[in-house]
Amino acid sequence: MSKRTKKPPVANELRSEWLKRNEQGESPPKIADADGFDVRTVRKHLELARLERDVQQARSDVLRKALEEHYSDLLETVRNIEKLVSNKQPVSMEKEQPLVFGLRQHMPRSPLWENLRKWNRKLSELDESLSLLREKIHQEVISDGRLSGIISEDADDVVTTAVNVLFQQAKSWARGWQALDIENNIHVEKTSEGRVNMRYGPHSFGIIEERYVEAIKNIIADFESRLKQYPAYMEVEKIYIRLGQLVSTIKDLLTTIQLRRIVPGKCKYCPL
Alpha helices in the chain (DSSP H): 12-23, 28-35, 39-86, 98-106, 111-144, 158-174, 213-227, 231-260
pLDDT of residue 161: 94
How many C-beta atoms lie closer than 10 Å to residue 129's C-beta?
Answer: 21
CA atoms of 266 and 268, how far apart (whole Å): 7
CA atoms of 134 and 126, how far apart (whole Å): 12
pLDDT of residue 82: 96
| Secondary structure class of 190 (helix, strand, coil) | strand
pLDDT tens digits for range 133-154? 999 999 999 999 999 888 888 7
pLDDT tens digits for range 32-86? 888 888 889 989 888 888 888 888 888 888 888 998 999 999 999 999 999 999 9
pLDDT of residue 90 exceeding 50: yes
The backbone torsions φ and ψ at residue 190, rounded to the nearest 5 degrees and listed phi first, read -70, 130
Say which residues have a Cβ less than 8 Å from residue 144's Cβ, sequence separation at least 6. Answer: 219, 223
pLDDT tens digits for range 155-178? 778 999 999 999 999 999 999 999
The model's confidence at residue 129, banded by pLDDT at 50, 70 and 90, is very high
pLDDT of residue 1: 41
6-23 mean pLDDT: 84
Query: Are residues 133 and 126 in contact, defined by beta-carbon separation less than 8 angstroms?
Result: no
pLDDT tens digits for range 204-232? 999 999 999 999 999 999 999 999 999 99
pTM here is: 0.76
Average pLDDT over all residues of the chain: 91
253-264 mean pLDDT: 91
pLDDT of residue 63: 84
CA atoms of 97 and 88, how far apart (whole Å): 18
Buried b (16+ CB within 10 A) or exposed e, 10-47: beeeebeebbebbeeeeebeebbeeeebeeebbbebbe
175-203 mean pLDDT: 94
Supply the DSSP symbol for 235: H
Query: Are residues 70 and 270 in contact, defined by beta-carbon separation less than 8 angstroms?
Result: yes
CA atoms of 199 and 206, how far apart (whole Å): 7
Query: Are residues 162 and 141 in contact, defined by beta-carbon separation less than 8 angstroms?
Result: yes
